[in-house]
């Protein structure tokens, strides 16, 4: 597939959640109806539904694909041999563990063996169940080889892919996307796609959500602009190949297991499509961050790019939040993130640069997990250095940084292999253990006086 992506100037359509149309051949879209008896150029009409047929109109997502042969034209699915073994879509004590401990992983090395995106993908943690349509999985990937003569299809949920190193060229049924580190791509449930690696070794992060789709967050008092702008979300344009293959394999992830089916043609045979259920990408450099302009550190929700909601207002199944370059200007304020405990669980990654709350140890390609009510915050070095700067630090710009967070109201269980990984930083807790008391009140003297009064019965208060 690589040479089919030789241009850096792929055309995209623009706009989040739009109802879009695209034709690789003019006239390939039927006019005024979706499923005529005979479609233009003898194409088959096929709908892909991303929500139930009866979902409210504002949430309803579906697209119509006009293709040379329908996607049903394949041999029966069979369990893939070998099975994958490190993908989880239903988290329980047979495949994952509960732990409140702060966890941090060093960046994984690239594989030595030939490994494509599918085999390089492994689940780190998650909650809930793809079968029950509620939950999420957080994966990472490290690969060094393009997928060949096969396409991946995730029946379990939507993938939000965050490349950290190495460009991805992704061919989907709606067209082709080029996704570089610093960009993210959403591959919705059910679409078939191929991941090619033009730069060779690649790695990154994937959030998978079950039973819902990403939305742009409400902006509340911010107003009608800011954060991620709808027009900066880019959707591919129709592209097709009429390619007969003796042995093309569809690899379908279904309930966390992989199944394969053979067919004798490329699935990227969609000549035209229309609808609002589509893959899309977004360049994080386009994000318009908002921040405090006088005092205190704002909650990280101010930097939400995309949110996958639950039925509870304001409670996310999964928020995708970034910490991009920005000015820090707050007066007499501890500017890094505050120490805190959170009923939400926080998985963090770093795409490039450093992160403002960790002087060292949190590296590009690495990850951390602070689960529900597990305390966390700036490491000792960051705290001491920040306080040492004093109140007259003045405006300062954080540059060369792009950290992100997947934040969820569901408490993740952590996969056994992630807990036993050689990349797990066993000394993570050490980054806070040196935080010393700065308490200056002469508390000891007062307590001694009070104890003496209690002993002599002179203190009549309760």
Catalytic residue annotation: 297
134 is in an annotated binding site: no
Do the Cβ atoms of 367 and 167 come closer than 8 Å? no
Whole-angstrom distance, CA of residue 215 vs CA of residue 355: 26
Q: Is 119 in the site for Fe ion (CB under 5 A)?
A: no
Nearer residue to Fe ion within complex by CB, 281 or 370: 370
Taking every pair of Cα atoms in the chain, the longest distance, rounded to a whole number of angstroms, is 101
Q: Binding pattern to Fe ion, positions 94-113, x when CB under 5 A?
A: --------------------
Coil, helix or strand for 40? Answer: helix
Report the residue number whose CB is nearest to Fe ion. Answer: 346
Q: Is 183 annotated as a binding residue?
A: no
Count of H-run helices and E-run strands, the chain: 4, 29
346 is an annotated ligand-binding site residue: yes
Short-list 228, 235, 231, 216, CA closest to 275: 235
- Contact present, 404 and 349 (Cβ < 8 Å): yes
- CA distance linking residue 134 with residue 157, whole number of Å: 10
Closest approach of Fe ion to the CB of residue 341, in Å: 9
- Looking at the Cβ atoms of 39 and 344, the one nearer to Fe ion is 344
Measured from the CB atom, the residue of 273 and 323 that comes closer to Fe ion is 323
For Fe ion, the binding residues in 327-346 under the rule CB under 5 A are 346
Burial group, residue 7, by CB count within 10 angstroms (0-12, 13-18, 19+): exposed
C-alpha torsion sign, points 250, 199, 115, 370: negative
d(CA 230, CA 309): 18
Q: Minimal distance in Å, beta carbon 358 to Fe ion?
A: 12
Number of residues that bind Fe ion (CB under 5 A): 1
Pick between residue 319 and residue 346 the one whose CB is nearest to Fe ion. 346
Please identify, using beta-carbon distances, which residue of 90 and 346 lies nearer to Fe ion: 346
Site string for Fe ion, 339-378 (x = CB under 5 A): -------x--------------------------------
Torsion sign, CA atoms 177, 180, 182, 184: positive
CB 18, min distance to Fe ion, A: 34
Binding-site residues for homogentisate sit at 346, 355, 376
Binding-site residues sit at 340, 346, 355, 376
Binding-site residues for Fe cation sit at 340, 376
Q: Which residues bind Fe ion (CB under 5 A)?
A: 346
């Amino acid at each position: 597939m690589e040479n089919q992506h030789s241009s850096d100037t792929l055309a995209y359509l623009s706009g989040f959640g739009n109802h879009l149309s695209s034709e690789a051949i003019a006239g390939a879209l039927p006019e005024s109806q979706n499923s005529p008896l005979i479609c233009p150029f003898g194409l088959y009409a096929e709908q892909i539904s991303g929500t139930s047929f009866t979902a409210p109109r504002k949430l309803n997502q579906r697209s119509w694909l006009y293709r040379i042969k329908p996607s049903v034209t394949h041999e029966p699915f069979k369990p893939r041999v070998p099975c994958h073994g490190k993908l989880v879509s239903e988290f329980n004590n047979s495949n994952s563990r509960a732990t409140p401990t702060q966890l941090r992983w060093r960046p994984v090395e690239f594989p030595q063996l030939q490994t494509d995106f599918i085999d390089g993908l492994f689940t780190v943690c998650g909650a809930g169940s793809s079968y029950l349509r509620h939950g999420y999985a957080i994966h990472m990937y490290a690969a060094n080889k393009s997928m060949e003569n096969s396409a991946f299809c995730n029946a379990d949920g939507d993938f939000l892919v965050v490349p950290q190193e190495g460009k991805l060229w992704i061919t989907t049924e709606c067209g082709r996307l080029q996704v570089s580190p610093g960009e993210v791509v959403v591959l919705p449930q059910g679409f078939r796609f191929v991941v090619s690696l033009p730069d060779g070794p690649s790695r990154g992060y994937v959030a998978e959500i079950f039973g819902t789709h990403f939305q742009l967050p409400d902006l509340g008092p911010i107003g009608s602009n800011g954060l991620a702008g709808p027009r900066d979300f880019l959707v591919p344009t129709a592209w097709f190949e009429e390619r007969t293959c003796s042995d093309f394999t569809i690899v379908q992830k279904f309930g966390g297991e992989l199944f394969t089916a053979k067919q004798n043609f490329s699935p990227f045979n969609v000549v035209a499509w229309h609808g609002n259920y589509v893959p899309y990408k977004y360049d994080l450099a386009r994000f318009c961050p908002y921040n405090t302009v006088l005092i205190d550190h704002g909650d990280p929700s101010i930097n939400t790019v995309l949110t996958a909601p639950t039925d509870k207002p304001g409670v996310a199944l999964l928020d995708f939040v970034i910490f991009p370059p920005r000015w820090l200007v707050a007066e007499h304020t501890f500017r890094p993130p505050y120490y805190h405990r959170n009923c939400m669980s926080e998985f963090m990654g770093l795409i490039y640069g450093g992160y403002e709350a960790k002087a060292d140890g949190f590296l590009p390609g690495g990850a951390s997990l602070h689960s529900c009510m597990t305390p966390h915050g700036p490491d000792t070095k960051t705290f001491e250095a920040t306080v040492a700067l004093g109140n007259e630090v003045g405006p300062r710009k954080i540059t060369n940084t792009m950290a992100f967070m997947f934040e969820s109201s569901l408490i993740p269980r952590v996969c056994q292999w992630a807990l036993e990984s050689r990349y797990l930083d066993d000394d993570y807790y050490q980054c806070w253990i040196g935080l010393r008391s700065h308490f200056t009140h002469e508390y000891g003297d007062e307590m001694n006086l009070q104890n003496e009064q209690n002993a002599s019965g002179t203190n009549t208060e309760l």
